[in-house]
Amino acid sequence: MNRSFVKTILFCFIASALITACKKEDDTENEVITTVVVQLKSTDGSIDRRFTWNDPDGDGGLPPTVEDIILARNKEYDAQVYFYDRSKSPEVNVTPEIERESDDHLLVYRINGALQLTITPTDADTKGRPFRLKTRWTTKGASTGSVLITLRHNPNKLLSNPDETGSVDAEVEFPVRIQ
Amino acid sequence: MIAQIVRVWGAVSLVFSSSLWLGAQHCDIPLRGMVWDADTGEPLAFAAVRVIGTHRGALTDETGAFLIPDLCEDSLYTVVVSHIACEHERQVIRLLENQVFHFYLRHHVLKEVVVQAQAAAPMPIQALETLSGESLAPRQSLPLGEALRDLAGVSVLNTGTTIAKPVIHGLHSNRIVIVAHGVPLEGQQWGAEHAPEIDPFSAQRISVVKGAAGVRYGIGAMAGAIVVEPASLRQQPGMSGWLYGGLHSNGWSGVLAGSADWKASRRALALRLQGSVKRSGNLRAPDYWLGNTGLAEMNFAITAEGKTGAWRHETVISRFSQRIGILQAAHVGNLTDLRRAIESQSPLNNDNRFTFDIGRPFQRIHHYMVRHRASRSLAEKWKCSTQYALQFNRREEYDIVRRTDNLSTKPQQRFRIWTHMLDVALKHLPISHWEGGLGAQLLYQYNLVGRGGLIPDYQSWGASLWWLERWRHFPKPWEVELGLRADYRRTAAKTTGAFYNVDTTVHFGGVSANLGVARLFGAYMRLMLHTGYAWRPPHVNELFARGVHHGAATYEEGRPDLKAERSWNTHLSAQYRRQRIQATLTLFSNRVKNFIYLDPQRTFVLTSRGAFPAYFYTQADAVLSGVDVSLSLPLIGALHIEGHASLLRAYRFLSDSAEGPSPRDWLPLMPADRFQYGLSWSKPESSASQTPSTLVRILATTTLRQTRIPASGLLSNAPPAFTLWSAEIAHAFRAKKSRQRYLEAGLMVRNLTNVRYREYLNFFRFFTDEPGTNISIWSKWHF
């Protein structure tokens, strides 16, 4: 227990601090959903379109660009929602992971305005509970409004209405026109 | 001045000690001894040694020796040793024949900028609150902020139960300075959810200096400073130390801590090893468990002191590491989630059970510090001291992520900051009754945030010059302190791979100054007037932040053209101390020019998680003023009545462009008025001692509803008033013969009546109640 001991400790300490210090690699894991795409295929196969909600520069900065969803009257569409992280290059498609963890996710659709549209699920999670990544959109007369799509994380699917449980991973609103 | 106060204390102890020495028999024994300079290890000539209550005294000769004849054998005496250049030393001794007593005096020149933790210690001309001894011991196992909660003028900014930041007179984070081991703490203080990386076990005393203290502690000390002072290392050869064990019922947490000092018998080498370990599980509110509020902490510090030639060296190495769980229920994805959480009476998505496990979200923090100080005396009255400190702080934040698989083990945010500080100081002993010093400081800081961070990476360079002088001329009742400091800061901020690009360099310069005047009226009353000017440059987050602040569900954006904040802080403080009566009244007014705050906009920012209310950093002049009162009056015997009050009014002036009938608005998140009242009973350990051996205290704390809140903004909802009861019992068990070894033990109950309440200064008040009853037991064995 003398000065050389203290020096040794000091040396080790500084060395370890500097070694950890010099690692500049960034191994944080920061997923950002910047882009939501709704693919709508009419059941008769005549229409197949993708509508995009896009905010590649993340929160704030430039406002997101949103495409209007345009639907034909009295038609049925098979819809699927895709999620991307376009802040990274190449872009990351987050959808397969959400599908894999379907038990922990839930999509919620809210129709605003006088839109003559009904949305019904066509899928379920691995336990047969709601998931709603894939849905069927049925249109009636010409009308306008919007659809708010919310991706919820860790919802309580045991409840009769799990739509307001868990926390929000993504929430985007598409203007919709049926013509 | 100090000498007069010593006299007052002497008079107090005379009252107590008179009964003891009257009963002794052989009263022809001399008291022999030596007085040493604790800093240089050299004998001190012309030190005054007085035996309280006997009207006897002597001066030391050139060899530091003294002799006071005809005292009584086997009696307890209180000896006060004073020297013009040193702090007085006061010791109780048991006089036996053929003994030589050694007294070690410390210089009190050490009130310099930052270099010495003792800076604020010897009664500065500034309002001061301290925590030490039996008030500190039961609180050492709490986070620093919580430990200081009961001091007048101090409150706590919480993010849940696990993250606590101390607040002085309404200001916190970058507006106060925290000094540990003589080094200002440099981490990520800007964040409200970034608690200070301080182990309260490293302290023997924690002082809260109230008022502008920029000259002593540097940039940012606008509202004050918190000085964590470790005990001095052992002066006499041998070993000593303490062991601490504690348990808290709420969270079933356990704490172990210890410290061992060793001093070589011949050489000037002294060493201390100190460490602490804490582990806690989920806390419990009166009605439910608070899911994921566990904590794990491990800290250590090594201190070594030695001499080579004329130089005196002191090295400190410390490591602080912590893993803290953050209430799961507080995780909200967007504004809708937050609204739902606010509307719900009980927490949503709460993991309502007890566990020691800490899951996401949690924070993992490491703070390392190496500090070396070398000092030597240059001439008869001058001393030179240099200090280099390196701090490395790594903060990792693990959020709840969308991925639920176990692949995600990585943090979502990582901050790493390196801070180098070099201090050089020249201090002098009184020259025509002025004593003080001047010095310079250089700083280099590198902060690496990486992608995805709320703030860009930055590098800072800083330089400071300071000069501090204090006048006192015994026995004149006046005392004056003057200080001046100039700082320069250059910061280069650059984003790497983030969404937006920042590549800017900003420069800030500023002057800090302070003037303090104290006057003693009679023997009991001390009046202090302190006025200080302090400043701080806007922090990188205030300039360049951009992103969603998750806990608050707000979108925050910095403004690159912010100006420096400048504060003019004036305190008037009156202290009355007469035997067992103690009263302190402090009035303060802090005018801050260009006060930076988050201003709610009337717009929302659309993100992929929905719309968030926008808050932009902006600045306006602000005024924070208030009153602190502390009172302790004897009732019957050893029973005292105690009262404390902390009142604060804080508002900002609205800019011309803002509409609204009032030209000013309240500042958000300011502590509500708080009153504490209760009874304490303390039995002094012996007639001569100031430290009680038994302490019993019951205290109620009433916190009013904060009604002075800004008209707009999310935070416009303050919880109702509440009253908490707490009880404390502490006792020191001493072996009759040994003054060194003793056992302290105690019991502390917080929130005695299990009240359901929410604190306005807690960001998580939207989600859960505060914790319920917590019974703590602790013991500390000094050896």
Q: What is the DSSP string of B68-91?
A: EEEE-TT-EEEEEEE-TTB--EEE
Cβ contact, residue pair B349, A13, below 8 Å: no
Q: Does B346 touch chain A (CB under 8 A)?
A: no
Which residue of chain A is at minimal alpha-carbon distance from B556?
A60
Residue B280's pLDDT is what?
95
CA distance A168 to chain B (A): 4
Residue B433's pLDDT is what?
83
Q: Which residue among A55, A101, A165 places its CB closest to the CB of B404?
A: A101
d(CA B498, CA A87): 8
Cβ contact, residue pair A29, B416, below 8 Å: no
Residues B347-406 pLDDT 10s: 888 889 999 999 888 999 999 999 999 999 888 788 899 999 999 999 998 888 776 555
CA distance B234 to chain A (A): 16
Cβ contact, residue pair A168, B304, below 8 Å: no
Residues A90-104 pLDDT 10s: 888 999 989 998 999
Name which of B412, B554, B607 to mutate to probe chain A: the one with the most chain A Cβ atoms within 10 A of its Cβ. Answer: B607
**Cβ-based contacts of B340 with chain A (< 8 Å):** 164
pLDDT at A49 over 70: yes
In the block, tokens 């249109």 appear at A139
pLDDT at B200 over 70: yes
pLDDT band at B763; cut points 50, 70, 90: confident
Q: Which residue among A1, A13, A171 places its CB closest to the CB of B609?
A: A171
Nearest to B222 by CA among B470, B589, B667: B589
The DSSP bridge partners found for residue B267 are none
Residue A112's pLDDT is what?
92
Cβ–Cβ under 8 Å, residues B483 and B470: no
pLDDT band at B244; cut points 50, 70, 90: very high
Residue B339's pLDDT is what?
81
d(CA B370, CA B358): 30
d(CA B227, CA B248): 26
Q: Does B25 touch chain A (CB under 8 A)?
A: no
pLDDT at B8 over 70: no
Per-range mean pLDDT, top range of B430-434, B623-627, B760-764: B623-627
What percent of chain B lies above the pLDDT cut of 70?
A: 86
* Span of B18-32, B58-72, B99-113 with lowest mean pLDDT: B18-32
Q: Does B321 touch chain A (CB under 8 A)?
A: no
Per-range mean pLDDT, top range of A131-135, B345-349, B407-411, B473-477: A131-135
pLDDT band at B6; cut points 50, 70, 90: very low
Residue A25's pLDDT is what?
52
In the block, tokens 């006046």 appear at B478
Which residue of chain B is at minimal alpha-carbon distance from A165?
B349
Q: Does B622 touch chain A (CB under 8 A)?
A: no
Cβ–Cβ under 8 Å, residues B164 and B157: yes
Residue B664's pLDDT is what?
86
* Strand B65-71 versus strand B183-184 pairing type: unpaired
Name which of A3, A7, A30 to mutate to probe chain B: the one with the most chain B Cβ atoms within 10 A of its Cβ. Answer: A30
Q: Is residue A166 part of a domain?
A: yes
CA B16 to chain centre: 33
Upper half-sphere CA count for residue B84 (Cβ side, 13 Å): 18
pLDDT at B114 over 70: no
Name which of A26, A37, A86, A95 to mutate to probe chain B: the one with the most chain B Cβ atoms within 10 A of its Cβ. Answer: A26
Residue B160's pLDDT is what?
84
Cβ contact, residue pair A6, B334, below 8 Å: no
Residue type, B455: I
CATH number assigned to the domain comprising residue A147? 2.60.40
Which residue of chain A is at minimal alpha-carbon distance from B339?
A164
Residue B253's pLDDT is what?
94
Structural domain of A111: 27-178
Residue B3's pLDDT is what?
39
As a whole number, mean pLDDT of residues B702-712 equals 88
Residue B110's pLDDT is what?
36
Cβ contact, residue pair B499, A61, below 8 Å: yes
**Which of 113-132 (A) contact B at CB < 8 A?**
none
Nearest to B359 by CA among B305, B320, B398, B313: B398
Q: Is residue A1 part of a domain?
A: no
Quick one: B735 exposed, middle or buried, by C-beta within 10 A (0-12, 13-18, 19+)? exposed
pLDDT at A2 over 60: no
Q: Is the peptide bond before B361 cis (omega within 30 degrees of 0)?
A: yes
- List the domain boundaries for chain B: 2-105, 227-231+239-782
**Which one-letter DSSP state was computed for residue B411?**
-
pLDDT at B286 over 90: yes
Q: Which residue among B337, B499, B548 places its CB closest to the CB of A87?
A: B499
Q: Which residue among B403, B413, B547 places its CB closest to the CB of A97?
A: B403
> How many residues does the structure list for chain A?
179
Name which of B371, B392, B402 to mutate to probe chain A: the one with the most chain A Cβ atoms within 10 A of its Cβ. Answer: B402
pLDDT band at A148; cut points 50, 70, 90: very high
**Which one-letter DSSP state was computed for residue B579?**
T
Q: Is residue A5 part of a domain?
A: no
* Strand A65-66 versus strand B362-377 pairing type: unpaired
pLDDT band at A12; cut points 50, 70, 90: low
**Which of 254-293 (B) contact A at CB < 8 A?**
262, 269, 271
pLDDT at B295 over 70: yes
Q: Does B494 touch chain A (CB under 8 A)?
A: no
pLDDT at B689 over 50: no
Cβ contact, residue pair A63, B606, below 8 Å: yes
Cβ–Cβ under 8 Å, residues B628 and B152: yes
Give the dihedral sign, CA B488/B192/B552/B459.
positive
d(CA B370, CA B320): 12
As a whole number, mean pLDDT of residues A40-53 equals 93
Question: What's the mean pLDDT when you consider all of chain B?
Answer: 84
* Number of Cβ atoms within 10 Å of the Cβ of B503: 9
**Cβ-based contacts of B352 with chain A (< 8 Å):** none
- Coil/strand/helix, residue B159: strand
CA distance A48 to chain B (A): 24
Element (H, E) at A10: helix A3-22
Q: Residue B40: what are its φ and ψ, rounded to 5°?
A: -105, -15
- Predicted TM-score (pTM) of this structure: 0.82
Kindly state which CATH superfamily the domain B2-105 is placed in. Carboxypeptidase-like, regulatory domain (2.60.40.1120)
Q: Does B546 touch chain A (CB under 8 A)?
A: yes
d(CA B31, CA B370): 43
- Coil/strand/helix, residue A9: helix
Q: What is the ipTM of this complex?
A: 0.81
pLDDT band at B77; cut points 50, 70, 90: confident
Q: Does A20 touch chain B (CB under 8 A)?
A: yes
**Which of 498-517 (B) contact A at CB < 8 A?**
498-500
Cβ contact, residue pair B394, A153, below 8 Å: no
Q: Which residue among A10, A58, A165 places its CB closest to the CB of B370?
A: A10
pLDDT band at B116; cut points 50, 70, 90: very low
Alpha helices in chain A (DSSP H): 3-22, 95-100
Q: Is residue A3 part of a domain?
A: no
Q: Does B247 touch chain A (CB under 8 A)?
A: no
What CATH number belongs to B227-231+239-782? 2.40.170.20
pLDDT band at B2; cut points 50, 70, 90: very low
The DSSP bridge partners found for residue B296 are B279, B323
| Helix/strand/coil percent split, chain A, to 5 | 20, 40, 40
Residue B105's pLDDT is what?
78
Q: Does B402 touch chain A (CB under 8 A)?
A: yes
pLDDT at B113 over 60: no
Cβ contact, residue pair B404, A29, below 8 Å: no
Q: Is residue A2 part of a domain?
A: no
Q: Does B238 touch chain A (CB under 8 A)?
A: no
d(CA B462, CA B486): 11
Residue B449's pLDDT is what?
85
**Cβ-based contacts of A9 with chain B (< 8 Å):** 302, 317
Cβ contact, residue pair A55, B608, below 8 Å: yes
Q: Does A12 touch chain B (CB under 8 A)?
A: no
Cβ contact, residue pair A59, B547, below 8 Å: yes
pLDDT band at B247; cut points 50, 70, 90: very high
Q: Is residue A132 part of a domain?
A: yes
pLDDT at B83 over 50: yes
**Cβ-based contacts of B408 with chain A (< 8 Å):** 29
d(CA B148, CA A80): 55
CA distance A1 to chain B (A): 9
Cβ–Cβ under 8 Å, residues B67 and B100: no
**Cβ-based contacts of B412 with chain A (< 8 Å):** 28-30
Q: Is residue A158 part of a domain?
A: yes
Q: Does A27 touch chain B (CB under 8 A)?
A: yes
| Number of domain units in chain A | 1
d(CA B78, CA B120): 26
Residue B496's pLDDT is what?
67
d(CA B113, CA B437): 9
pLDDT at B314 over 90: yes
Residues A66-96 pLDDT 10s: 999 999 999 999 999 999 988 877 888 999 9
pLDDT band at B322; cut points 50, 70, 90: very high
As a whole number, mean pLDDT of residues B511-531 equals 90
Cβ–Cβ under 8 Å, residues B459 and B447: yes
d(CA A106, CA B334): 16
In the block, tokens 């902060």 appear at B447
Cβ contact, residue pair A17, B392, below 8 Å: yes
Q: Is residue A13 part of a domain?
A: no
d(CA A151, CA B486): 54
